[in-house]
Amino acid sequence: MKPTPFRSMTSRFKMRCSKIVAALAVAAAALLVQTPESAAQPRPQELAANTRVIIDYIDPMLRFPRSQATLDRLRKRQVLEELSMFLSPLRLPRVLRIRTKSCGVVNAFYDRSEWAISLCYEFYEHLEQIAPQTTSPQGFTRDEVVVGGFIDAIFHELGHALFDILQVPVFGREEDAADQLSAFLMLQFGKDVARTTIKGAAFTYLNNRNPRSRAEYADEHGTDAQRFFNYLCLAYGGEPEAFRDFVDNGVLPKARADGCARENQLVRRAFAKTILPHIDVDLMKQVQSVRWLRPSDGRTSK
């Protein structure tokens, strides 16, 4: 899921004065602290939008009239407006476009030739369809699946966009890297947000389909099962208390769990060195203190 189907080429050979940046970044990383959640948390509206993020709710294609309701719902919830506020600490060297649209497929995309993220109405509708009415037998709630699943799609594509726009060095597989960035962001807003979003992301890979033929391993994405475990591992590594139940009940095998703190540390280091230098840390702390999710977010108002 979530491939980047169209990857136009860019010439990218900028050298960096990496040591100084790295030192600053590591210092700033110490500031990446958890903010306690409270009822008094500010609303997103207290933040200014990122002026280099251009948002657009694109009308659904005529053959998908059902998606009009999805568009209305996303617009009413101000999903893209709040996303732009969420991105306010980010200093972007160029304009990033983020739009919701009909894609004809259940997916989300980053298009390098347009510097644009497309979030498909179909993907949101798919989440509403697969989400349990209340709670699944494995303990995943409707809110987690719809809200977490959609945020994961946004963050994953944001990962591709940032790697591209900021010319981030990616040594591993980029699809895994985008998942890592998504999971890492999910863990920066306190335990409740972390639980909702990580579980939602993991759920989309829960009823997974593993490769049926050898050639399927050629996919640049990991298998669904690999992605499922990657999310849980980064979560457990970053928030052991909040995610211990997944280890206790054997969902995340002990052999993997033992290395998750280090895996999380590697991602934290990569973030600190390659993305944090492009972030206004004061604004970032404000963003972290905001209450982004609302109790009603997973519910369809039908």
Site for another protein in 106-145 (CB under 8 A): 113
Residue closer to Zn ion, measured from CB, 32 or 116: 116
Site for another protein in 193-232 (CB under 8 A): 210-211, 214-215, 217-220, 222-223, 225-226, 228-230
**30 near another protein (CB under 8 A):** no
**174 near another protein (CB under 8 A):** yes
**2 near Zn ion (CB under 5 A):** yes
Q: How far apart are CA 88 and CA 266, in angstroms?
A: 25
Between the alpha carbon of residue 41 and those of residues 45, 284, 288, the distances in Å are 12, 15, 10
The owner of tokens 């703190």 is 261
DSSP one-letter string for 9-74: ---------HHHHHHHHHHHHTT-------TTPPPGGGSPPPTTEEEEEPPPPTT-TTHHHHHHHH
Residue closer to Zn ion, measured from CB, 77 or 112: 112
Site for Zn ion in 170-229 (CB under 5 A): 175, 178
167: left (phi over 0), alpha (psi -120 to 50) or beta: left
State the distance between the two ends of the chain, measured CA to CA, in whole angstroms: 28
- Select from 32-40, 41-49, 52-60, 247-255 the region that touches another protein (CB under 8 A): 247-255
Q: Tell me the closest approach of the beta carbon of residue 200 to Zn ion, in angstroms.
A: 17
State the binding partner of 167 from Zn ion, another protein, none, CB within 5 to 8 A by kind: another protein
Tokens of 184: 């890492």
Question: Which residue type is seen at 110?
Answer: Y
Contact residues for another protein (CB under 8 A)?
Answer: 3, 5-9, 12-16, 18-19, 22, 113, 163, 167-174, 176-177, 180-181, 210-211, 214-215, 217-220, 222-223, 225-226, 228-230, 252-253, 255-256, 259, 262-263, 266-267, 269-270, 272-274
